[in-house]
Homo-oligomer: A and B are copies of this chain.
Amino acid sequence: MIIDIHGHYTTEPQALHTFRDKQLAGLAEASRMPKDTNLGLSDEQLVQSVQPQLKLQRDRGSDLTIFSPRASGMGHHVGTEAVGKVWCQVSNDLIHRICTLLPDNFAPVGQLPQTPGAPIENVLPELKRLHELGFVGVNLNPDPSGGYWKSPPLTDRYWYPIYEKLVEYQMPAMIHVTGSCNPAVHFTGAHYINGDTTAFMQLLQGNLFKDFPQLRFVIPHGGGAVPFHWGRYRGIAQDMGKPLLEEHLLNNVFFDTCVYHYPGIELMTKVVPIDNILFASELLGAVKGIDPRTGHHYDDTRRYIDQVKALSDEDRYKIYEGNARRIYPRLDRMLAARGKPGRRMEAVA
């Protein structure tokens, strides 16, 4: 099977946007704050809302998408912590419902009610709830200030309480920023990519995984600039007296394949170990168009991977399925319980 580990619910029904508008209007005029978190959406409406994703799964031959709320919609820098908690819960509940309605197509990943400057402990109740609801991972924002980088680096003890729980729950975190409120920094074209690069460098500078050997991070968008500058990062680690990247970071840090052209994907497969690459497309849609040079959608990343001739069948299995099962153990167990074990289990059977 083919697992796309990075999809966002970007086709939300208007009712969700209306709810958010009312919430934010409520900051200015309290009477406008919605009292009810029930959006009145039927199961049919939710299933209808993800038809574009289902069509792309069929068209492109992927089976299951790891599905989380719209990344730019998390808006950790917007409003108050109280408003953020409700927003987070409402957003996650929709993901949960969709994944429950369509369990063969979607597996849930949640957002967290992070607030700039607030203790990270404040997100733990929602994380516990996500764990109980069967979410297989979370999106963790290294910069809840939205483009101003006001939080301590990911290696700081500030973050340790959530890492303890992520390890206990066997839930990996995708390191994903939200929208940018910094006019110098475009969201999908700069902030997302910078977030990936910055997070990797923070991890390189520290020794976080000595304290949390079981913690797993997925860095999206192909790892930002990292694979393109792989020599730079290997060299900086060496200058800093760190172990080789393989030993220092790559048991814990993984990259997705949201890189929208063949040469980028080819480079990834050349420099990043195959065990650290997970198939993803970021549907829908940081980039929506069709590449006139190929006649295919930029974000149809499966085409690029299929073109890399140097990959063995085993490599492809890992990128498309095996690594996802390993990094998201709750997903693997969920699939196995539904009679869809991974290859190693098949070999035993």
Give the contact stretch, choosing among A48-56, A121-129, A262-270, A326-334.
A262-270
Query: Per-residue CB proximity of A5-17 to B under 8 Å, as 1/0?
Result: 0000000000000
Contacts of A221 in B (CB 8 A): 229, 232
Chain B, Cβ-Cβ closest to A147: B149
* Contact of A197 with B194 in the complex, beta carbons under 8 Å: yes
- Which A residues between 137 and 195 are near B, CB-CB below 8 angstroms? 142-143, 147-153, 182-186, 188-190, 193-194
* Contact of A231 with B201 in the complex, beta carbons under 8 Å: no
A228 touching B231 in the complex, CB below 8 Å, given contacts A184-B152, A197-B190, A267-B264: no
A84 adjacent to chain B (CB < 8 Å) = no
- Which A residues between 248 and 301 are near B, CB-CB below 8 angstroms? 259-261, 263-264, 266-267, 270-271, 286-289, 291, 298-299
* Contact of A184 with B264 in the complex, beta carbons under 8 Å: no
A62 adjacent to chain B (CB < 8 Å) = no
* Contact of A184 with B143 in the complex, beta carbons under 8 Å: yes
Among B182, B228, B266, B289, which residue has its beta carbon within 8 angstroms of that of A227?
Answer: B228
Query: Per-residue CB proximity of A69-98 to B under 8 Å, as 1/0?
Result: 000000000000000000000000000000
* Contact of B185 with A198 in the complex, beta carbons under 8 Å: yes
Tell me the bound Cα distance from A201 to B228 in angstroms. 17
* Contact of A230 with B189 in the complex, beta carbons under 8 Å: no
* Interface range for A: 35 or more
Tell me the bound Cα distance from A270 to B267 in angstroms. 11
Tell me the bound Cα distance from A239 to B238 in angstroms. 40
* Contact of A232 with B260 in the complex, beta carbons under 8 Å: yes
- Which A residues between 105 and 135 are near B, CB-CB below 8 angstroms? none
Among B148, B230, B239, B263, which residue has its beta carbon within 8 angstroms of that of A148?
Answer: B148
Chain B, Cβ-Cβ closest to A227: B228
Q: Mark A residues whose CB is within 8 Å of B.
A: 142-143, 147-153, 182-186, 188-190, 193-194, 197-198, 201-202, 204-205, 221-222, 224-225, 227-236, 238-239, 259-261, 263-264, 266-267, 270-271, 286-289, 291, 298-299
